[in-house]
């Protein structure tokens, strides 16, 4: 006897999936965050922070609304940034107003331009130069390269020619000039805190910068001599905050006259100096 086929079982119907819940006020939360960042960045900048404070104020409103949506954390961060930006802006502007009041009420606190009296004093400090734009010096006078010592400022370098020997006796192995006269300069150098001035002084006191100025006004370069011991010579490089002594040996045509030191322009210094010998 044939068995009847089993009755087909009904298939369960699939449950419909719930549609994803749309983010509520998500755009407002992001807007509040962006406005908060802009407000924080611009809050310390005077005048510009007026604009960023307004943007932060709008961000506070948007953030509060967004707190009722699905992006509560994002909205809370944005709102906090906006409030912080407004607070920083108020503090910065208050500090600026107080500083302005202090300057207005206390003229001494305001920056001042150099007065005409100061300009006259500076002009009077500059030594007078002759027709060659050189400073006339006596033996033992102090010459400067770089700035003179001023309060809270760098100090330049000084040099002094104490003595000019004419035709000194040559040292062992020294060679007297075939023509002209030997001048032996005894020099002292004291450097300050200004490194550039110390470098200038080393350049200035190069023997090749010396000239002989004749009675007729003709300038002739001095030559380097070899009569005295080179170990006595002035060093050719100077460091800061140091003192040096030494000699510079020259050969000139005349046994008496005017010796010039003409290095050209130097930092904060004159065009040259002159000594009678």
pLDDT attached to residue 118: 45
Residue that the structure tokens 């500076």 belong to:
122
pLDDT attached to residue 150: 56
Q: Please check whether residue 273 is in contact with residue 143, taking contact to mean a CB–CB distance below 8 angstroms.
A: yes
Average pLDDT over residues 233-259: 95
> What tens digit of pLDDT does each residue of 68-109 get?
888 889 889 989 999 998 999 888 888 888 887 787 776 565
CA contacts within 13 A on the Cβ side of 41: 7
Q: Residue 121 — pLDDT band, cuts 50, 70, 90? A: very low
pLDDT attached to residue 92: 87
Which domains does the chain possess? 26-109 (no CATH), 130-276 (2.60.40.1240)
pLDDT attached to residue 139: 96
pLDDT attached to residue 154: 63
Instruction: Find the angle CA(207)-CA(212)-CA(214) to the nearest 5 degrees.
Output: 180
* Cα–Cα distance, 54 to 39 (Å, whole number): 8
* Cα–Cα distance, 183 to 73 (Å, whole number): 89
DSSP 8-state class, residue 23: P
pLDDT attached to residue 124: 45
Q: Residue 208 — pLDDT band, cuts 50, 70, 90? A: very high
Average pLDDT over residues 255-272: 80
Ordered DSSP codes for 131-168: TTS-EEE-TT-EEEESPPP-TTS---EEEEEEEEEESP
Give the N- to C-terminal CA distance of the chain in Å, as an integer. 154
């Amino acid at each position: 006897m044939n068995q009847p086929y089993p009755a087909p079982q009904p298939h369960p119907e699939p449950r419909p999936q719930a549609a994803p819940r749309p983010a509520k006020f998500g755009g407002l939360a992001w807007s509040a965050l962006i406005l908060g960042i802009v407000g924080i960045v611009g809050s310390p900048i005077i005048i510009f922070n007026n604009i960023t404070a307004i943007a932060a104020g709008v961000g506070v409103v948007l953030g509060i609304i967004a707190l009722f949506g699905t992006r509560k954390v994002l909205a809370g961060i944005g709102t906090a940034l906006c409030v912080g930006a407004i607070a920083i802006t108020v503090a910065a502007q208050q500090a600026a107003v107080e500083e302005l009041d202090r300057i207005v009420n206390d003229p001494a606190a305001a920056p001042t331009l150099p007065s005409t009296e100061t300009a006259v004093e500076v002009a009077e400090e500059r030594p007078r130069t002759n027709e060659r734009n050189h400073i006339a010096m006596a033996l033992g006078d102090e010459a400067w390269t770089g700035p003179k010592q001023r309060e809270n400022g760098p100090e330049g370098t000084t040099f002094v020619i104490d003595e000019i020997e004419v035709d000194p006796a040559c040292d062992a192995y020294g060679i007297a000039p075939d023509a002209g006269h030997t001048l032996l300069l005894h020099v002292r150098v004291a450097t300050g805190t200004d490194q550039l001035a110390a470098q200038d002084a080393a350049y200035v006191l190069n023997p090749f910068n010396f000239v002989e100025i004749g009675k007729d006004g003709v300038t002739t370069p001095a030559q380097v001599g070899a009569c005295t011991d080179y170990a006595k010579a002035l060093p050719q490089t100077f460091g800061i905050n140091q003192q040096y002594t030494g000699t510079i040996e020259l050969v000139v045509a005349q046994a008496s006259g005017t010796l010039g030191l003409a290095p050209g322009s130097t930092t904060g210094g004159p065009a040259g100096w002159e000594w009678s010998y």
